[in-house]
Amino acid sequence: MPVYPKWILTLRRKALNFFNRHSAPRWVVFAADILVVFAAFIIAYFLRFNFSLPDDREHVLIYQAGIATAVYAGYCLLFRSYSGLIRHTTLTDVTLVFVVTTCSAISLVGLSALASFSGWSPVLAIPLSILLIHYVAVSLFLFAGRIAIKIIFRFATGTSQNKKQVLIFGAGELGFVVKRVVLSDSRYGFHVTGFIDDDKQKQGKKINGINVFSPSVLTADFISKHKIESLIIAIKALSVDKKSSIIRTAVNMGLEVLDTPEVDKWLAGQLRMPQFRRVDLEDLLGREPIKLNINTIKQGLSGKTIMITGAAGSIGSEIARQLTSFQCEKVILVDQAETPLFYLQNELREKFLDVRFRIIPADVTNTERIRQIFEEYKPHIVFHAAAYKHVSLMEENPHEAVRVNVGGTRIVSEMAIKYGIEKFVMISTDKSVNPSSVMGASKRLCEKIVQSRARQKGHSTQFIITRFGNVMGSNGSVIPIFAKQIENGGPVTVTHPEVYRYFMTIPEACQLVLEAGFMGHGGEIFVFDMGQQVKIADLAKAMIKLSGFIPDKDIQIVYTGLRPGEKLYEELLTDGELTIPTHHEKIKKAHVEEIDGKEVMEQIDWLLKNLYSLCACEVVQAMKDLIPEYHTTNGKFKEVKSAHAK
C-alpha cells in the first residue's frame, strides 16, 4: 500500500463520508448537463469568432444558445441520459450521452439549414461551424465530467483490495442490475470479483470488464485465492433444488449468501442494497413450491363458516391466514392462550379487513363452552389443531396430555356430529406413528377417536386426519431454539449426533392440510411427503454457518443425550400401514388398520373418566393397552404394571 500525505488522507476521508451520505438527485444531474450545454455553446461561439463577436451576432447569441439548449434538453429527457449514477458511469451511460449529443447536433443542423433556405427566421440559422465546435465541446465536457467524478469516487472510496470481494450468480439482465446496485453504495464496501453463470456462451467473457465464470469455480482454492466473502444470487430462472445446492456449497465454504428480491418488491421500482436478504434455513432446505387445486378448495370454502381450534398456534394461525385467500363466510378462531390470540386478532384486523373473523378464548376440554360455540356459530368445517405438543413436557405430565389432546378431540368431534358439520380435519403428527412418547401416544389416541367417529353410523360428517412432521419455525421447535442459542454466543445443544427429523415449512404444511381436507371423503389418514429426513446436527451446523460463524470454533455444539420419550428417527407410517397415491404428488393416503370403534371409545371414555384417580404410570399403561405399538423410551415408564383399562 502506498503511503499518502496526511492532507490527502484527510481529503479522501471527507470525500468518502460525503459520497456515503449523498447521491445526486437526477434533476441535479439533468440541470448540470443542461448548464454544460449552454456554456459550451457560448464557448463555441467565441472560438468561432476568435473571441471577438461581430456586432450583428451579439444580439442573437443568447437566443441561439437557448434554442440549442432546449433541443439538447428534449433529447436528454427522451433518452434519460441523466438517470445513471455518475460515480459509477458505465459504457451504457457514455453511449446514452453520445446518442443525445449526436441527435441534438443533427437536429440543430437540420433546423439551421431549413431556416437558412426558407428565410423563415434568421435567429434559427446557426452557423454550421459553431454547431460542429459545440458538438465536440459538449461531448468532451459531458464525457470528461462523468469519468472525472468516477475516478474521484474510486480514489475517495479506496481500491478493491480494501473492499469485500463478492461473486454474483447470474450474468443476465438481473445480474447486471445487481452489479450496479452493489457498486453504487460504498457504505457496504463491496467489490464485484466476477459473475457466475451456467451459460457456456458467457463463460470466459467479460461484462463491463468483469469476468464471467463457470459454477465450477466455487471451490475452496478459488475462494481463498480471490478472498471471496459473499455470493449474491441474481437469477430467478433457477429451480429450488439447484438454488439450494448452490446455497449449501457457498455456506459450507463460509460465504455470506444474499438473495435478490422479486422485482415487484423493489421500492418504487428501484433495487436498493438494504433489500438484499440473507438466505435462511428454508432456502437451504428448500423444495419446489406446492401446487394446490385452488378450484376444489375455493368451492369447498366458499360461503362457509370455518372453525379452527388451537387457532393461536403455529399451524392454526397459518391456516387462518391461508383462509383469507378464499371467500369464507366467517372464520371462528378458538384457543385458550389469551395473549397469542390477542396478537393474532391484531394481525388479522390489520392485514385482512375484508374477512370476518371471530376470536373466541375457550378451552376445547370444556364441553359446555364448546357446545355453546357450535350452537351459536354452527360451523360447516372444523380444523382441529388444538393440542399440547412438547414431548419432554408431556412426559412429565401425562395426565394433561390425555386431558387436552385426547379429551379435547373427543369433545370437539362429538359436537361435530351433533351439529352436523360437513368436515372435521384433525392435525396429527409423525410422532403418533409407533409412538415412543406420551405426546405421540396421545396423538395416536386422537387419531383412533377420529377413526372411530368416521365409522360411526347415523351422521354425514366427513372425518379426515392429516399427518406430517416438524414444521420449521413453529413455536418451541428446534430451529428458533438454535437461533436463540447462536444469538447468545452458544453453545448449541443437540440431543444426539444421529438424530434425524422430517421438516416442512408452516405455509407448506397448511396448504397441504387444506388440499387434503377437500380431497377426503371421510375416514382417511393423509400422509404428507416430507422429503428426506434431516440430520439435526447438520441443521445446527448450517444455522451456525448462515449466521456467519464457524461450528465448533466460534459456536460450540454440545450433545446432551436423548430426552425421555425421544427417538432417533421419526416415521410417517406404522408397520401395518401402506400408502395409496392421490392426485396430489405430495399427499398419500394411508391404508390404515381396522379398529373396533365402539371398543376404542369405551376404553378412552374409561381413561378420561378415571384420569385423575390414576398415577402417571397407570395413565401410561392405559395408553399402552390402547396402543400396542407404543414403546416408551422413558425409563420410569418401561416397567409399569398394567392398569387393565376397561
Higher pLDDT, 435 or 124: 435
Position 634 pLDDT exceeds 60: yes
Decide if pLDDT at 487 tops 60: yes
User: How far is it, in rounded angstroms, from Cα 231 to Cα 13?
Assistant: 28
C-alpha to C-alpha distances, 423 to 72, 111, 313, nearest whole angstrom: 71, 79, 21
Range 180-205 average pLDDT: 80
Instruction: Say whether pLDDT at 314 is over 50.
Output: yes
Q: Which of 3-12, 35-44, 103-112, 554-563 has the lowest mean pLDDT?
A: 3-12
Half-sphere exposure of 109 (CA within 13 A, CB side): 13
SS3 helix, strand, coil % of the chain, rounded to 5?
Answer: 50, 15, 35
Question: Of the ranges 256-270, 319-333, 384-398, which one carries the lowest mean pLDDT score?
Answer: 256-270
- Most confident among 90-94, 292-296, 481-485 (mean pLDDT): 481-485
Does the pLDDT value for residue 20 go beyond 60? Answer: no
The torsion angles phi and psi of 195, rounded to 5 degrees, stand at -100, 155
Per-residue pLDDT, 91: 62
- Tell me the DSSP string of 43-94: HHHHHHTTT---HHHHHHHHHHHHHHHHHHHHHHHHHTTT-S-GGG--HHHH
Q: Which three cell numbers stand for residue 380?
A: 360447516
Indicate if the pLDDT at residue 608 is higher than 90. yes
Q: Does residue 349 carry a pLDDT above 90?
A: no
CA distances from 103 to 238, 445, 533 (A): 41, 81, 64
pLDDT value for 424: 95
- Which residue in the block uniquely carries the three cell numbers 422479486? 262
- Average confidence (pLDDT) over 70-97: 72
Residue 611 pLDDT class (50, 70, 90 cuts)? very high
Contact 568, 500 (CB under 8 A): yes
- Summarize the confidence of residues 136-153 as an average pLDDT: 74
Domains annotated on the chain, with CATH: 6-157 (no CATH), 160-279 (3.40.50.720), 385-635 (3.40.50.720)
Task: Find, among 285, 273, 163, the residue nearest to 227 by Cα.
Answer: 163
Residues annotated as catalytic are: 431
Q: Higher pLDDT residue, 603 or 145?
A: 603
How does DSSP classify residue 335? E
CA distances from 31 to 25, 42, 81 (A): 10, 17, 12
For the chain, the farthest-separated pair of C-alpha atoms sits apart, in whole angstroms, at 122
Give the closest residue to 77 by CA, choosing from 117, 29, 129, 145.
29
- Judge whether residue 587 has pLDDT over 50: yes
pLDDT-based confidence at residue 449 (cuts at 50, 70, 90): very high
Q: Which three cell numbers stand for residue 408?
A: 379435547
Question: Between β-strands 578-581 and 587-591, what pairing exists: parallel, antiparallel or unpaired?
Answer: antiparallel
What are the residues facing 335 on neighbouring strands?
361
Cβ neighbours around 368 below 10 Å, total: 8
pLDDT (tens digit per residue) in 251-270: 878 788 888 877 766 755 66
Span 427-456, average pLDDT: 91
Of the listed ranges 124-133, 238-247, 282-291, 580-589, the one predicted with least confidence: 282-291
Placement of cell 461484462 in the chain: 207
Query: 86 and 24 in contact (C-beta within 8 Å)?
Result: yes
pLDDT at 646 over 50: no
Q: How confident is the model at residue 128 (pLDDT cuts 50, 70, 90)?
A: confident
Q: Cell 438494504 appears where?
A: 274
**Residue 100 CB coordination number (10 Å):** 27
